[in-house]
Chain A
Amino acid sequence: MGTLTLAETQDLHTNFYTFEGVVRALNGVNVVVQQGETYGLVGESGCGKSVTVRSMMRIVQAPGRIDSGRIVLFLNDQERARGIEIVQRTETYMESIRGSDISMIFQEPGAALNPVLSVLEQVKESYQFHRMEQMIEETLAAMDAERSRRRRGSLRGAGAVIQAALLRKELAATRRFDERVRRIDNELYQLETSSDTRSEERKADLNRSRDHARPRTGIVAVARRIPFLRRYRRRLDATVRAHVVELLRTLGIPNPENIVQRYPHELSGGMAQRIVIAIALACHPTLLIADEPTSNLDVTIQAQIVELIKELKRTIISSVLFITHDLGLVAEVCDRVTVMYAGDVSETATVRELFRNPLHPYAVGLLASVPKAEQAEELAMIPGAVPNLIAPPTGCRFHPRCPRRMDICVREKPDTVEHTPGHWVACHLYTGKDGGHA
C-alpha cells in the first residue's frame, strides 16, 4: 500500500492472573498502526482496547502480564528495517521510550493527575526524564549569552562561572549515564534474544550494574545537596519551566504562567485534560495513544479536546491511536479503524469502508445500535452481554450473541482474512469454512 508501519502487535496474548482465575483479556490481537494515520480502536467496555494499548507501552498493571506475542516498533530510520521488538526489552529501555516516543493520554483527567503535585512538577517530569541534555545545553547557552553582555570580573560573574562548571559536570554525568544504560541494555537485549544458556550469569551481572548505576556521581551528587552550590539547579529549573510554560501556551491554555503553579483540584476537567495532553506531548512523541480521552468530559469540552488532538496531529505528532466506544467520534477523527470484541480483533478497515460495508456481525450490530436523527423505529441492539473472560466462549468469542451463528463458530476460532484490499475480518462467514447454520 506504500504506507509505513509505525507499530504493530502480532498475536498478542495478555492475561490477568486474578484470584478467581486467569482472565484471558487479549486473545491473539493483531493491530497495525501506520505512519501518519489516526487509527481507531472501537468496542464495548471490557473488550480489551485499553489492555491492548497498555500492552503496547508495557504498562499493564499487575496481576496482568503479556504472555506471548510480539510488539514491534519502527520508530526511527535506524530501526526501520527490522523494527524493535519490545516484549523482550528491559524495563529501563521502556522507560526511555515511554513519554518520549510513545505517549498516552487517559480517560479521566481528574484522576490521571497526581493531586499533591503542582502542574509544573508534573509536566516538568517529561523533560526531566527525556530531555535533560537539551535542557542543560540550553541553560549553558543562555548563561554564555548573559556573560557576553555583562562586564567580566564582577562577583556575580564568579558565581556564574562556578554554576556553569557544575552544569557542564552534570551534562557530562547525564551523558555518561545514558550511554552506560544504553550499552548495558543493548547487551541484555542481545543476550535475551540469543539462545545461549550460559549467559544467565552475565545477565544477572548486567542487571545488577544497571540497577546500581546512578545518574549523578562525584561532584554533582555532592553539589546538589549543598545549599550554596545548589543554586545552579535554579537556572536549570528556570529553563525547564520556560519550556513547560511555552508548551502550555501552544496547547491554547490561557495564562500558562499562572496555571503551572496550580494543583489539579483547582483545574476544570477540560483544563486538566489539556495538562494531561501537555505531559504526553512534551517530547513530541511519534505515536500518541489516546485512551477514551473525551468520555468523561462535557460535550462542548469534548469537541474542543477532539479539535486539539486533530490540530496536534497536523503539527506535532505523527500518528494517533484513538480508543473510543463512540462511533461518531471514530467517523470524525479516524482514518482506519479496528473493531474489537472480548479480546479478539473482529474487523479492520478504513472508516469509510467500515461504515459503508461492515462485514463482521458484531460490527454490523454495533453500527446499527448508533442512534440516527431521522430514526423513528426502536434502536437496534446486540442481545446479551460481554462474556466473562475467565471462561471465554469456545471458537469465536462472539458466537453466543451472534445472529448468524454456524456450527463451526462454536468449534473453531476464525482466522483473519482480507475480504477486499485493506478490509480484514475474522468471521467464519468469510473464511470459506462453512459449517452450516446451527
Chain B
Amino acid sequence: MSLLSYIIRRLLLMVLVLIGVSLLVFTVMMLLPPGQRVAAYVTNDRVSPAQMDAMIAKYGLNDPAPVQYFRWVRNLLHGEFGYSITASSPVIDGFVRFFPVTLGLVLFSAPLIILVGIFLGTLGAVRKDTPTDHFTRVFAIVGYSLPTFWLGLLLMMIFYGFAGIFPPGTVSNDVRNIIYGEGYHQYTHLLVLDGILNWRWQVVGDALYRMVLPTLNLVVINSALIMRLMRSSMLESLGQDYMMTARAKGADRKTLFRRHARRNAMLPVITVSGLTFAGLMGGMVITETIFDRKGIGWWMAQAALQLDVAAIMFNVLFLGTIYVVINLIVDLIYAYVDPRVRLS
C-alpha cells in the first residue's frame, strides 16, 4: 500500500508542477499585446479592427494579469482550450489530429532506440577494445554529433530521392481514401492500431513503411547517448568486487554478464531512456518536418512561428504532464530494479 500512497503523492506533486508550468507559460504569453492574444478566440479569417477591439473587451484581454490567469485556468478546467489558427480548428481537435501521428512514431521508434542502445553498449563493454567495440564507439560518436536535419535529408535523398523507396508523409493517398472512406472507424487515430482493428492490412503496411526512415533517423541520433552510457556503466559494474565473487563461485560468462553486470549497469540507462522517451514526444520538430509528418512537433513549430497562443499554451502544459508522468514511471521502474531505492 505504501506504493499506492507514493504514486498518489507523486501525482499530487504533479499538480503543483503543472501550476508552475502554466504560470511560466502564461507570463511569457502575457508579453504579447492583446491584439495578438485575441487570435485564440478568432475563428475566421475576416475580422475587422473594430470587431477585434470588441473581442478584446469581451474576453477581457486588457484585464489585470491575475484576473486573466484565473480566467484562463477556469476555462482549461472547463475543457475550453481556445481556437488554434494553425490547426484551423479548436485546440483539442487539433491535438486529436496531430498527437496520434507523433505517438505512433514514438511507440515504434523509442523501444528500438532503447534496445539498440543497450544492445550495442553491452556488446562494446563485453568485447572491450576489439573491432566490435571500436565500431560501436564510432557509431555512437557519429550518431551523437550528426545534426538531425542533415541525417534526415541525407536519408531522404538516398532512399526516396535516388532509390524511390520509403516516401515521406504518414500515408499514401489510396490509404487516406480508405481511412476517410465508408466503413472505416478511427478508434484510436493511431494508423497501425486502427488498421489492425479495421482488418485493413494495407493501412498497417503503408503506415509502417513510411515510418522506416524517420525511425532510422531517430535511432541513429538518439541511441548514441544510451549506448555510450550503457557501455561505460557496464564496464564499471564489470570492474566491481561482486563480479569477482560471482566468478569465484563458478558463474559462466552468460550469467556474469546478464545477471550480475547488466542489471546494475541498467540503472542509469533507465533514467536516460525515460528522458529520451519524453523528449521524443514533443521534440521531434525536425524529424517531423523533414519527413512531412504532421505531429505535435510540427504543430508546435507552426504555432510558435504564427504566435498561435492557444496551441502553444496547451502543448506546453501537455508536455509538462508527459515529463512528470514519465519521471514517475522511471522512478517506479528504478525502485523495482534497485532494492536500495526506497519509495517514500
Which residues of A approach B to under 8 Å, CB–CB?
54, 57, 59, 61, 91-92, 95-100, 103-104, 106, 108, 111-118, 122, 125-126, 129-130, 263, 265, 276, 279-280, 282
Contact = CB atoms under 8 A, between A and B. Distances in A.
Given A100-B250, A115-B264, A130-B250, A106 B245 contact: yes
B251 A276 contact: no
Interface in B244-264: 244-253, 255, 259-260, 263-264
B248 A104 contact: yes
Contacts of A126: 249-250
B340 A125 contact: no
Given A99-B249, A103-B248, A104-B248, A112 B340 contact: no
Contacts of B247: 57, 59, 98
Interface residues of B, number: 23
A236 to B, nearest CB: 17
B244 A280 contact: no
Given A115-B338, A116-B263, A116-B339, A99 B244 contact: no
A112 B245 contact: yes
Contact of A265 (B241, B259, B264, B340): B340
B260 to A, nearest CB: 6
Nearest to B242: A114
A118 B248 CA distance: 18
A115 B246 CA distance: 12
8 contacts: A59-B247, A96-B250, A104-B245, A112-B244, A115-B339, A117-B260, A129-B251, A265-B340
B251 A95 contact: yes
B244 A59 contact: yes
Contacts of A95: 250-252
Contacts of A61: 239, 244
Nearest to B340: A265
A201 B273 CA distance: 45
A97 B250 CA distance: 7
B236 to A, nearest CB: 13
A265 B339 contact: yes
Contacts of B337: 116
B240 interface: yes
A263 B340 CA distance: 8
A436 to B, nearest CB: 47
A5 B245 CA distance: 26
Given A106-B241, A125-B249, A265-B340, 12 more contacts: A95-B251, A103-B248, A104-B248, A108-B241, A114-B246, A114-B260, A115-B264, A115-B339, A129-B251, A265-B339, A280-B248, A280-B249
B248 A57 contact: yes
Contacts of A104: 245, 248
A96 B249 CA distance: 9
Contacts, number: 83
Interface in B209-264: 239-242, 244-253, 255, 259-260, 263-264
B123 to A, nearest CB: 16
A330 B253 CA distance: 36
A98 B250 contact: yes
A129 B242 contact: no
Nearest to A53: B248
B245 A276 contact: yes
Nearest to B264: A116
B242 A115 contact: yes
B263 A112 contact: no
A341 to B, nearest CB: 24
Contacts of B253: 91
Nearest to A125: B249
A265 B253 CA distance: 26
* Residue among A95, A106, A113, A130 having the largest count of chain B Cβ atoms under 10 Å: A95
Nearest to A276: B245
A171 B255 CA distance: 20
A114 B248 CA distance: 13
Contacts of B263: 116-117
B338 A116 contact: yes
A99 B340 contact: no
Which of A91, A92, A99 is packed against the most chain B CB atoms within 10 Å? A99
Contact of B250 (A54, A99, A112, A122): A99
Contacts of A114: 242, 245-246, 260, 264
B157 to A, nearest CB: 43
Nearest to B239: A61
B244 A118 contact: no
A103 B248 CA distance: 6
A334 B27 CA distance: 77
A125 B251 CA distance: 8
Interface string B315-344: 000000000000000000000011110000
B145 to A, nearest CB: 26
B339 A111 contact: no
A117 B263 CA distance: 9
B342 to A, nearest CB: 10
Contact of A111 (B240, B246, B248): B240
B250 A113 contact: no
A112 B241 contact: yes
Nearest to B266: A116
Contacts of B240: 111
Contacts of A263: 339-340
B249 A98 contact: yes
Contacts of B249: 98-99, 103, 125-126, 129, 279-280, 282
Nearest to B237: A114
